Every structure is written in C-alpha cells, then in structure tokens.
A and B are shown apart, each in its own frame.
Chain A
C-alpha cells in the first residue's frame, strides 16, 4: 500500500515536472511576426562600433549650415551651450574641480553621436534630419572639438573610425563602495 502510494506520488511528481517544463517552453501564440522591412523601418539603434550606420555622408562645411539652422539656437553658435548642453570643449577637465562634460571631452564613441542626433534632435523636430544631414552635423560637432579636420567628410566608415579622447574613461560599477 505504502509502496503503491509512493509510486503514484513519483508518477504524479513526474507529470507535474513535465507540465512545468512544457509551461516554461510554452508560447501563447499572441501577436504576429515582424517582417524584415518593418524591423528595418523602426530599428534605428547604432551600436558603439557603428556597424549599423546607414548609407550617406556629410562634410564639416555642410554640417555648419545644418548646425546654424537647426542646433545653434539651443547649443550656441559654436556649440558652447545655452538652453541645450555644451557640445564643445572641456578636454582635460574631467579630473579637475570643474569637469566640463561635452561630446569632445566625455563621449566615448563617435557613432553614438549619429544615433542620438537622429533619434532625438533637434528637440522640436526629432527624426526630421536626413542621414546626410546627421553625418554632416556630426562632422561639424567633431570638428569644433578638434577631432576631425576642416575638410572631413564623414560616412559610416569614417565616423566609426573617429577615436574619441575619453573612450577608455568608463569603469564598471564597484558598489557597494561606502561602508
């Protein structure tokens, strides 16, 4: 009797375990497949290596025109800041009593500039700039920071090749660090 109960219990446990495993793998059949075209239309994420940067290109000179029309009102005529963050300067200031964190002094990866400008700027009309315009204005901001020459023309390859001064300035979270 006891034996039979034990066997029954073991069988029941096995069934429960199987049901659990099935549940873990279960799909509810909700939603619909996303097509490649739909994903391409929405996925604007650019990683730090710039592998997904789109086709197109822009020069420093073109970028100056875009910047003066679209950016200078908030970020200042030469990126010195205003209503918007300062974009230029501060290199060498990060360990000082007055660190100035800008694209030039702080941002670790140049492709992030393209990612952010395209998705969020200008603040009053995000996602309104063409890929060429985003490359151009990225080039101009990098040029203002002395990171690309006046005659630079940036495309996916050239932007990804820009090495930012603070690339290695980030460290992992060591907390809890205060005892």
Chain B
C-alpha cells in the first residue's frame, strides 16, 4: 500500500528550504558547493542534450520517485488499483502517466483501427461506429475529476501519504463527443431509460447509466490532456460521467445497449453497492460527494517551524466548490482558504492558506463546501449514519497530525 517506509526519498522528508536542505537534495550526486555561488554549475559549461533527443519527453531524472503508488503484495494485479501521488503534484491537472488506475480484467491493447462501438437496444437505427466516425462528430473539451468510489474504504485507514489515503482521484481535460449526440444519431425510442455501457476489456465490464445523465453532460472521450487516452484510461474510447463514481466511466467502450431497466450487472449489485448497518445495501449510489485533502504538508513529510503555505485539493460531484475551510488547531477554529482559479464544476479545485507553525504538536484538516451548501463531514458524523461496512463513498475529512519534531502523519492511524 505504501512506499518503502524505511527509505523515504529525501525530497519527501525535507520541505525545509535553504542551503542545508539543498545540499541534502543533491547529496550523493555532486558536492553542493560546485553549483552554488561563487562556482558556476557544471551544466552551464557544456551544451546540453540535443533537440529531439527525447521524441516523447519524460520528467527530469531527479523526479524519478514521482510515480504511481502501486500497492505491494496483492494476491493478483489483474483486478486492482494504483494511486496518483497527490502529495507531489501542483495545480489541478493530473499528468496522464500519473492518473490513477482501476482495472477489473487488466489493460487491453486495442488497435483503434479495429475497434468498433455498437449502439443498439431501444434505438430507431442500431449503429456501428469506427473511431474515425466518432471523431467526426462535433466535440467538446472539459476539465473534470474522476474518482474511484472506494477512496478510501471505511476500515483500517492506515495509509501514510495523501496518495495512500485518497490517491484514487485524478483530474484531466477530456475531449470527446457528447453521449447525447451519438444516442440521437441512433435515435432514442420513447421507452429508453438506461444505457448499459460495456468495455472491451477481459472483464467486459458493464454499468447502467440513467438516461438523464446520458443526455446531460456525459461524454464519449477519446483524448485526455490534449493527447489520445492512455491504455490505462480506456484507449481508444471511454465514457466520462462528470461527478459520478469512477467505475461507471466505462473504459475501452465498445457497446451501448439502450434499455428500459438497469442491467443489474455484477458491478452494480454485488460490487459498488454500499452496505448499511441494518444489512441492506444502497444501490445506484452514483454521485461522489464533496471532499478535500491537504496535500502539503501531508503524511511522511517533515516541516520546520516558521512559514508554510498549506495547500490541497477539493472537489464535488454535485458542482463547484464554494469554499474550503482549514483548521490548524485540531478543529477548534477554522479559517477560509483561498481558492485558486479556475474553480470549475466537478473538477479538482486547488486551495491555499498561509500558516506559520510555532513548533507545537497540532492537527491540520480541511473541509470542503460545495455550491449546493453541502459540507464535507467528519468521519464520526459519516459513520454515525452509515456504519463501518459500506466501503464505498467515504468522503470524510482527513486529519494530519504534526508532531513536535515536525513529522506529519495520518491522524486516523
């Protein structure tokens, strides 16, 4: 679940800026004084790498530890997930290579020239579309978050980093065609109420989408952050349902079956339903409710007394983030954080709050409020209603404990 805790990268352990920290950052590679004044750095004394030496650019080798958070020791990795390293990222857009993953039958290797989308069921004219066909429809681009519904679960919230806790959320600019456009091309019959989407993966994963969502803001997406979808995110075509739980955003989309009733597939009966204390399970729990997390300072980092900008991300499946409040005294008082523009509906929103740490142990926490007035709940308020067995849709506030040493750790652990 976590990175090797006995060997945390230097850049995580020290957020302290200054000459001593800079020396620590480059320790083992070069002596710090060879680049600091009055010395002239080596990299200025000879030409750098040629133009085009990387035909698809990759991050600096000094960023090699900013990678997906892949859980260790799982029984299998065909149906599993990996997390976005939220604590290492800035802004609101997730780089495509760091976007979280959740697959149910592995990642298929699809040739887009041979891929087909079939639309059938309660339509006037069943259709087969190629990727070339789909890209000829009028397109749109929007920035939306995507979040796994189990992010995190309700029990054993023992992760160390922000990524361990809620790394199953990412955000991108998506480009594609309105699902409504494609459904109208086939012509919906009056009794059409649901659309069952199927992936072309080895799980042939199916989820049922209510027709209102299909005709509202749902997209059939072929590009992410300006380039074609990555295989991990559904190449060459996926469903994108703004604000709805990740599993419904079917990847590798190959079939849309328009129906009067939901499919009641395995993924919407035995999985992705929320068990309540009375033994019932909530079904069709689509929307991801408002949530936030402080990503800096956050777990496994170490801070020094003095100034820090607290920053993090907030999001809501119901619309825009109206505000984020931050406590630096374990919930006794709350301050309004500044929201970084753009503040977009159903997208990650970056918040910031200046803070001077006095060196005393404390707990930091953020809570999001969305445009409907909904306030992100505490874990105790949430579990008082839902118990501990619902697994999905835990959107409780995340406390970070600050020790006198400056060590930041999970307030749940």
Q: Which residues of A approach B to under 8 Å, CB–CB?
A: 24-25, 27-28, 30-34, 38-39, 42-45, 47-48, 82-83, 94-96, 99, 101, 103, 106-109, 112, 115-116, 119-120, 123, 126-127, 169-178
Contact = CB atoms under 8 A, between A and B. Distances in A.
B266 interface: yes
The 4 A-B residue pairs whose C-beta atoms are closest, nearest first, are: A95-B279, A94-B279, A119-B204, A34-B126
A30 B185 contact: yes
| B: interface residue count bin | 35 or more
Nearest to B132: A30
Nearest to A118: B204
Most buried by B among A44, A96, A172, A173: A173
A82 to B, nearest CB: 8
B129 A83 contact: no
A39 B133 CA distance: 19
B187 to A, nearest CB: 8
Given A108-B264, A115-B266, A170 B283 contact: yes
Contacts of B198: 45
A31 B286 contact: no
Contacts of A177: 385-386
Contact of A32 (B128, B204, B255, B275): B128
B203 A119 contact: yes
Contact of B285 (A82, A109, A123, A173): A173
Contact of A176 (B120, B203, B286, B289): B289
Contacts of B125: 33
Contact of B127 (A31, A94, A106, A120): A31
Contacts of B31: none
A34 B119 contact: yes
A106 B257 CA distance: 26
Interface stretch (B75-83, B320-328, B331-339, B357-365): B75-83
Nearest to B104: A120
Interface of B: 75-76, 78-79, 104-105, 118-120, 125-130, 133-134, 136-137, 184-185, 187, 196, 198, 202-206, 254-255, 257, 259, 261, 263-266, 269-270, 273, 275-287, 289, 372, 374, 377, 381-382, 384-386, 389, 393
Contact of A116 (B127, B265, B287, B389): B265
Contacts of A27: 184-185, 187
A116 B137 contact: no
Most buried by B among A25, A28, A83: A28
A170 B280 contact: yes
B203 A126 contact: yes
Given A123-B79, A170-B280, A172-B283, A28 B389 contact: no
Nearest to B134: A30
Contacts of A47: 259, 261, 263-264
A39 B264 contact: no
A42 B126 CA distance: 13
Contact of A45 (B79, B263, B393): B263
